Structure 1
Amino acid sequence: MHILTTQLVEFILEKYQLNDYILYDSSYARDKMNDQTVYSFETFWIPRGASVIEEENGTMLPEGTVQISIDPVTKRTTTLSLQGPSSIYSVPNDLRDPTTRIAWIESETDMIHGTHFMLEEENETFFSYVSCYEGIRLTPGCFIHLTLTENGQLDELFLYGPHPLDHHVTQEPFALTLEDIDLLTKQQIKWFSYPKTGHQYAHSVVETFVTQKGSILVPSKLDFTSSIEVNDVLSWTGLPSSKKYERYSFQSGETVTANDVITQTEHPDFHPISQETVNACHTVIKDIIQNEYPADSGQWMIRYIYRQHPYLAVTLSRAHPTSYVDQQRRVTILLDEKTLDWISLTDDQELHTALASVTLPELEDDQQDVIFNALRPYLLLTPRYVFDVSKGHYVLCGLLDSNHAYLPATNEVVLLRDL
């Protein structure tokens, strides 16, 4: 066992005093949080004297198994799951009392309620919290899910996402108002269809993050990855290539080692995509598209190539869309990152064909004003810290949103949940 693994196992053993358990399995995993590589160390502990059952479909761990995952750098717990009745040191026997529950979550997460995390949803046995900074939510942020048994004992504590104490936040007063962004708000009012007595359409505001300078900021995804915008139309003449492009099976997940943790090896998805790789992908994708859609020369455009380790993902769209279906249609092709072997092709044509009968509404300027004025009393502008990839930290924005929609057929404003 690697010395780091031994140290982490001993840390978990001491923290939760798992003297009545033995370590069944442990492993490392690597993930992406905003623009950073994050590692985790996962362990499974089984009660002493319990038996593991080997079956055709896999291994069945005994009742009372405890799953614990921690960040190997900060040693914060990210998963604590009790598979059956168990009593773990430092975990209260009954977490139904709010004061007890919050105090325990604070001790486990190294966060302060109201300052670093706040409640989003709850019922009798499930509690969902989101990360914040001084009471203002972070996007993207950390999610804390706590599940209890009927008698209030811990079932599972699960954390996912960037920890608020590990990222820089630029703090400033929130001064943005709806009046400051009238023009931008009008541009964010979009139509959508809904299945009610046939295809109907309504208008509402698209959820938008607006900087205090009045510009739109698109939040990063938790799984940020290297990508290249291509925008190249695929054309060919003659018959498809005689080369056969067979589909290969998906590969298993990567193996992450203790040495990766020690050296903090960057996630493969962050590696830049070279022009040589782009050119090679272009050749392969062109042949695949020509074989799959031989009559569509000049009708497909490569939009993006991005990493999805151990694959390269290529998205294509229609080069000259003539309908709503054409505008929305996407084809995604996965290639093996090293060999460029063809792994899969996904065409979402059927999904968008279902909306083929939807006629896009064309609105005059005065109609747009009517819709805007009808929705204006229901617009919401909420402060939100949003991670800006270009700056590498969170900046204060306003979340423009609404819970209502305008129905042009009846000139009504209704709640979105009622559609």
Structure 2
Amino acid sequence: MDSRIQAFVDQAQTTFGLGNYYLYHHSLWRDVNHFNETSYKLCLEWFPNGTESDEDGSNPEGTAIIEYNINTGKLETAIFVMGETYAQDGITFNSGTEEVIKWIEQETGLTYNEQFQLHNETEDEIEFSAMIDGIPVSPSGYIEVKWNANRQLTFFSVHGEFPTDDQVIRETYNLSLKQAEHIAKEQVKGIEFPSFEQKKLFAVYAVEEIYIKNEDQSTKPFEMLQDGGTSKKVNHILEWDEPISGAFERKEIDLQEEITVNEAFSCTPSPTTLPITEEDEKKCVQAVERLLRQEYPEDSGKWRLTNLHRDKKYLIATLRIDQHETRVFERKLSILLDPNTMDVVNYIDNQFMLEMYHSFEESRDVTVTQEEAYEKLKGLFELKPFYVYDDEEKQYILCGKLDCHHGVNAESGEVVLLDELG
């Protein structure tokens, strides 16, 4: 075993009291965060002495899975399978929350009240989330710790982002809902919301979340953040005159990356951090168009290529139907390409997921206007401060997150909790 890995093995054995365990397996993998930074992880699987993996390949009860970030040398995960531990002189919390916090600070290098704060606490579990001066952040970070009846650690996980002081543009929050009224009106949108319980589509007015910048009240879209890796927005409608005969042959998707020890300990940037060039985009458009001409020959002009994204071994093209969609879930194609050859490897169409709505009862005629819906909802809007990472500033900036947990049934005019529609 490489001496650099052995150092982590020794550290884990000492820290977690694994005298009753043997190292069954170790592996390397890498991750790319929202800031396009590559981090390498070492995963150590320790089996209790005298045990082996089960017939189905699963780990035996009490297995210790310890994971370190090689870049920082810090602990990121410690899991004892099924909440059972055979550790001797391992991690035990006898003094309550403060002891847990001190241990987290020691293992992660994070500072309580500056970078993370208590989120939730129960008898045998405690959760923390990333904060800046008590204000939540996006993208965020989370820490979770669990222990058994003997107060022995059985689960620890830290993931996501915990901003440092130099990543933050600090401001005094001064936004109000009154100031944001003109934006709030525009964010009330009509959609069809599926109720799986009632097997029905409801026409509903709901608020599309948005961030409002504290500095100048300009807006920033609320986006569900995808995994790290270079992305490029594209706006290209795919059109053709002639289809291509013959079915496309799918290849198996393999997301496993072979990581060498030298790559990991030199923190070599992942290929997914490479830029997506104009030439890459051009070749991708050509390959995607060829696929559509084979598999969707009648769909010329219907699909729009909206995004390219590097992920693990692939370049992923996202396509959406080029029409106004009012349903919560819209039609989407994800096409995986080999970034070296720009050949399509496979694709995923979410049509199968949308077909479940075909049996749903359709929504009836809309009787409520958007203006009327806004008037019903305006007293229920929320505007909460958030520090949001800005890709242009390369820092976290102060915003207000505009949201509303209620909607208006567009048929009856009733104000409803959106969570209760499902």
Shared fold per TM-score greater than 0.5:
yes
More divergent stretch after superposition (5-14 vs 75-84): 5-14
Residue identity in the other structure for 1:300: W
Q: Is the 8 A contact 1:387 1:395 kept in 2?
A: yes
| Match in the other structure for 1:379 | 381
TM-score, normalised relative to structure 1: 0.85
Residue identity in the other structure for 1:232: H
Q: Is the 8 A contact 1:169 1:395 kept in 2?
A: yes
- Structure-2 change in CA distance of 1:304 and 1:62 (3 Å): closer
| Match in the other structure for 2:231 | 227
Local SS of the residue matching 2:392: coil
- Structure-2 change in CA distance of 1:214 and 1:360 (3 Å): farther
Local SS of the residue matching 2:228: coil
Residue in structure 1 matching 2:391, options 389, 392, 398: 389
Could you tell me how far 1:251 is from its partner in structure 2? 1.8
Q: Is the 8 A contact 2:206 2:407 kept in 1?
A: yes
| Match in the other structure for 1:127 | 126
| Match in the other structure for 1:400 | 402
| Match in the other structure for 2:31 | 31
Question: 2: distance between equivalents of 1:332 and 1:80?
Answer: 34
Question: 2: distance between equivalents of 1:178 and 1:265?
Answer: 46
Q: Structure 1, residues 328-360: CA drift from partner, whole Å, max 9, x if none?
A: 322221122223443322222344455574579
Residue in structure 2 matching 1:257, options 257, 260, 275: 260
Question: 2: distance between equivalents of 1:73 and 1:166?
Answer: 20
Q: Is the 8 A contact 2:305 2:317 kept in 1?
A: yes
| Match in the other structure for 2:309 | 306
Question: 2: distance between equivalents of 1:92 and 1:331?
Answer: 49
- Structure-2 change in CA distance of 1:85 and 1:8 (3 Å): closer
TM-score, normalised relative to structure 2: 0.85
Residue identity in the other structure for 2:135: I
| Match in the other structure for 1:295 | 298
| Match in the other structure for 2:249 | 246
Residue in structure 1 matching 2:72, options 74, 91, 103: 74
Q: Is the 8 A contact 1:210 1:397 kept in 2?
A: yes
| Match in the other structure for 1:348 | 350
Question: 1: distance between equivalents of 2:30 and 2:220?
Answer: 28
Q: Is the 8 A contact 2:190 2:326 kept in 1?
A: no
Question: 2: distance between equivalents of 1:216 and 1:139?
Answer: 15
Q: Structure 1, residues 156-191: CA drift from partner, whole Å, max 9, x if none?
A: 111111233486122221111112211111111223
Question: 1: distance between equivalents of 2:212 and 2:233?
Answer: 24
- Structure-2 change in CA distance of 1:239 and 1:397 (3 Å): closer
- Structure-2 change in CA distance of 1:264 and 1:360 (3 Å): farther
Question: 1: distance between equivalents of 2:268 and 2:38?
Answer: 8
Local SS of the residue matching 2:241: coil
Q: Is the 8 A contact 2:20 2:88 kept in 1?
A: no
- Structure-2 change in CA distance of 1:167 and 1:203 (3 Å): farther
| Match in the other structure for 1:64 | 62
- Structure-2 change in CA distance of 1:231 and 1:361 (3 Å): farther
| Match in the other structure for 1:3 | 3
- Structure-2 change in CA distance of 1:375 and 1:42 (3 Å): same
Q: RMSD value over aligned CA atoms?
A: 3.1
Question: 2: distance between equivalents of 1:179 and 1:21?
Answer: 61
| Match in the other structure for 1:162 | 161
Local SS of the residue matching 2:5: helix
- Structure-2 change in CA distance of 1:239 and 1:178 (3 Å): closer
Q: Is the 8 A contact 1:139 1:219 kept in 2?
A: no
Local SS of the residue matching 2:282: helix
Question: 2: distance between equivalents of 1:106 and 1:322?
Answer: 49
| Match in the other structure for 2:110 | 111
Identical counterparts, % of pairs: 27
Question: 1: distance between equivalents of 2:71 and 2:365?
Answer: 52
Q: Is the 8 A contact 1:241 1:287 kept in 2?
A: no
Question: 1: distance between equivalents of 2:257 and 2:199?
Answer: 49
Question: 1: distance between equivalents of 2:104 and 2:271?
Answer: 33
Could you tell me how far 1:150 is from its partner in structure 2? 5.2
Work out whether 1:18 is the aligned partner of 2:21.
no
- Structure-2 change in CA distance of 1:298 and 1:407 (3 Å): closer
Could you tell me how far 1:250 is from its partner in structure 2? 1.5
Could you tell me how far 1:362 is from its partner in structure 2? 8.9
- Structure-2 change in CA distance of 1:359 and 1:187 (3 Å): farther
| Match in the other structure for 1:415 | 417
Q: Is the 8 A contact 1:33 1:222 kept in 2?
A: no
Q: Is the 8 A contact 2:44 2:67 kept in 1?
A: yes
Residue identity in the other structure for 2:237: V
Could you tell me how far 1:224 is from its partner in structure 2? 3.2
- Structure-2 change in CA distance of 1:301 and 1:115 (3 Å): closer
Q: Structure 1, residues 284-339: CA drift from partner, whole Å, max 9, x if none?
A: 222211111222333333332221221121122334x37757x9322221122223
